[in-house]
Amino acid sequence: MDIAAFIAPLRQLRLNKITRIILLLVLSSTVLFSVLTIAYTRSRDSSYMFGIPSALLRSNTSNSSFPPLERVRIPTTPESNTTTPSEVHEDVLLNNGTHRANATLLMLARNTELDAALQSVRELEEKFNHQFGYPWVFLNNVPFSKAFKEKMTEVVSGPVEFAMIPPHHWYQPDWIDEEKATQSRNTMVEENIIYGASVSYRNMCRFNSGFFYHHPVLQKYKWYWRVEPDVHFHCIVDEDPFLKMEENNKVYGFTITLIEFEKTIASLWKTVKDFIAENPHYVAPNNSMGFLSEDGGETYNLCHFWSNFEIADMDFWRSEAYSHFFDYLDAQGGFYYERWGDAPVHSIAAGLFLPKDRIQFFDEIGYEHHPFTHCPHGAGIIRKKHCSCRGWRSFDYQGYSCMRKWERIF
């Protein structure tokens, strides 16, 4: 556009100098606005031409190869905090631009564990979830504090929900013989068994064994990744483990396997054998009995998957086989008369009711729960995944590990 061509007629008009200057400024502003409008439109269109939405061009850059996710917050109420509109999850899917499993990251935590919980969440967000934006669910047997909810909401990248555990899912049931349970706890204290005196620990083990997957806030989800306060994630997780499970027909995933304290589960295996004798149809062909027993099932070798890390399909826990199994165990009172843990209960069920090839060992996920660490096998994986752990620290082949027993059944 030739500005001089517009100025020439102005000179022929009988206008004073000030008027000509004003007209010139108005004309110049109009031309400049037109030029800028055209330039912006072309630059915006060129962003989409190369597959880059304008919103992402304005986002902060990161070391990840994945585009950053838009944060979407879930409206909650102080009473329940359990309602998540399905469209929130759809929005996260669209923002991420990739397929995502129907899954959540799950943590059971106390208000007093805020700092330890924040550490775990920050590390998993940094190593994994900032790329994928999976929702978080936090459960507590009492209401979460305002500080817990505010600080946790600041660090997560996906939707977040806080919910209370129903009392009948958490507390010791009335039908338990308290005198018998107290005597058992006192004996464990005398024998210096960890958590021997704790009723709350037993409540937690029973809840994790048979109730968490029935919580209303989890009913909309199929998959979960269990995360505990004060754990560490040592490697970049740049492949979605939920999709890996889904695409490879897996049901249960673990990183660490070890031996249980025998005195805490003295009657558990006998109870399992009684259940199987009454319900042989639940036992899967090609199961993992060789991992659980050295003599074809006569005795239990105490091997189990350490359940503070689990990536699993909640529909397995909701299944007829596991529901009947848990109800049978629960009726024996062993969660309180002894100290049955959710780790051996989950492990025995997965080992017997699933074919062994439906259980996934996540070698590539570096994980630490004091005092044990799993670090990926092989320097190549450690470098590729930018792991902060070293192979020599890995618990996998140390004395109390059951990894060799797991490997021998394949």
User: Does position 43 have pLDDT exceeding 50, yes or no?
Assistant: no
Coil, strand or helix at 287: coil
pLDDT for residue 378 is more than 50: yes
Catalytic residue flag (residue 310): yes
276/47: higher pLDDT: 276
Backbone angles phi, psi at 369, to 5 degrees: -130, 115
CB neighbourhood size of 3 (10 A): 10
Contact between 72 and 159 under an 8 Å Cβ cutoff? The reply is yes
- Among 65-69, 91-95, 167-171, the range with the most confident prediction by mean pLDDT is 167-171
| Predicted local confidence at residue 79, as pLDDT | 36
Per-residue pLDDT reduced to its tens digit, 263-307: 999 999 999 999 999 999 999 999 999 999 999 999 999 999 999
Query: Mean pLDDT over residues 43-66, rounded?
Result: 29
Phi, psi of 139 (to 5 degrees): -115, 145
Sign of CA dihedral 351, 353, 357, 363: negative
Q: Measured between alpha carbons, how far is 114 from 125 in angstroms, rounded to an integer? A: 16
Of the candidates 310, 338, 364, 368, the residue annotated as catalytic is 310
Q: What is the pLDDT of residue 18?
A: 60
Taking 50 as the threshold, does the pLDDT of residue 90 lie above it? no
Average pLDDT, the chain: 84
pLDDT above 90 for 6: no
Is the confidence at residue 39, as pLDDT, over 70? no
**pLDDT at 133 > cutoff 80:** yes
- Res. 27 pLDDT band, cuts 50 70 90: low
Tell me: the pLDDT tens digits for 105-129? 999 999 999 999 999 999 999 999 9
Q: Which residue has the higher pLDDT, 50 or 290?
A: 290
Domains of the chain: 3-57 (no CATH), 86-408 (3.90.550.10)
Q: What is the mean pLDDT of residues 134-147?
A: 98
In the structure encoding, which two tokens stand for residue 46, read together? 């060129």
pLDDT interval class at 35 (50, 70, 90): very low
Amino acid letter, residue 136:
W
Q: How far apart (Å, rounded) are the C-alpha atoms in residues 81 and 222?
A: 19
Task: Report whether pLDDT(74) > 50.
Answer: no
**What is the DSSP secondary structure assignment for residue 73, as one 8-state letter?**
P
- 189 by DSSP, 3-state: which? helix
pLDDT at residue 89, as a whole number: 40
Give the number of other Cβ atoms within 10 Å of residue 183's Cβ. Answer: 12
- List pLDDT tens digits, range 161-185: 999 999 999 999 999 999 999 999 9
pLDDT at position 393, please?
87
Of 206, 255, 266, residue with least CA distance to 233: 255
pLDDT digits (tens, 9 = 90+) for 309-360: 999 999 999 999 999 999 999 999 999 999 999 999 999 999 999 999 999 9
Determine the pLDDT at residue 88. 40
